Chains A and B, each alone.
Chain A
């Protein structure tokens, strides 16, 4: 059963996942860009998998390409779930 998609729930999953890709926990904010966090395209593809497993929301390659910041990612997942 997938977790209900709320901005808070998505934010938590994204924030919790990012350190495994090498992001510094203290630098993870909604405004932080993935570039600053040193999170690359393969990391984002993996993050998409984690989100899909957790929320049942599928992000397409095009979607992932538009995401620049942590907040963008959270908003994209919430909007795709709606």
Chain B
């Protein structure tokens, strides 16, 4: 079944970096995009303007997904863009790196809550319109960290590995309703979130370079497309070969 007319894609954490690139890629593919942000209103508005300038439709939506802003996001997205949310991209993520022995409860809880629990709550809410439409695309932005170890990121790795487990199980539950659930696992991507990481990381990447947000967005765009209707429960690594 082709994507219904006027379908809305909700992208969390889309004011910059990978999320912003995803929002633009989905808009270019004809999705009406809700650009969710927590604090960077100017960034979100700039992405909306860029989408509109390119002939697409988008709206900036404020909401802290780690603090209960779930139901309101869907309602606002549907009201502003006039269609049901039939694609959800769980992209918003935070890091609070430390060796496991030094991670305090607050940093554990915050990373798990934003990167995993919020994604679950959004997924659960998104299934309502998707089941009704017999069409849906959920893409979770996981990480090469989780499937792989990375010292100093026990909380982040646990959340991202959990996201992949969530992806697989929900994909089985809803596959027969035309809803696909997949993950992308970026490796080392050049964004604000990774700018403080060491250049040494690049030496460990077979491609010998950092990835660009647009390269992750292209994978999401594919998984959200009608071409990927038979792809579900999988994790697509976009990591320059790091995980191979």
Contact = CB atoms under 8 A, between A and B. Distances in A.
Interface in B81-104: none
8 contacts: A42-B131, A42-B173, A42-B174, A42-B176, A42-B177, A46-B131, A49-B128, A49-B131
A46 B133 CA distance: 12
A49 B131 CA distance: 10
Interface string B125-140: 0001001000000000
A46 B176 CA distance: 13
Q: What is the interface of chain A mostly: helix, strand, loop, or mixed?
A: helix
Interface in A38-60: 42, 46, 49
Contacts of B128: 49
B181 to A, nearest CB: 14
Contacts of A42: 131, 173-174, 176-177
A42 B174 CA distance: 8
Nearest to B177: A42
Interface of B: 128, 131, 173-174, 176-177
Interface size class of A (residues with CB under 8 A): under 10
Interface in A7-48: 42, 46
A78 to B, nearest CB: 24
Contacts of B131: 42, 46, 49
Contacts of A49: 128, 131
Contacts of A46: 131
Nearest to B175: A42
Nearest to A53: B128
A59 to B, nearest CB: 14
A71 B15 CA distance: 50
B175 to A, nearest CB: 10
Contacts of B177: 42
A47 to B, nearest CB: 11
B150 to A, nearest CB: 35
Nearest to A45: B131
B209 to A, nearest CB: 44
A46 B173 CA distance: 12
A17 B131 CA distance: 14
A46 to B, nearest CB: 5
Contacts of B174: 42
B193 to A, nearest CB: 36
Nearest to B173: A42
Nearest to A46: B131
Nearest to A52: B128
A42 B170 CA distance: 11
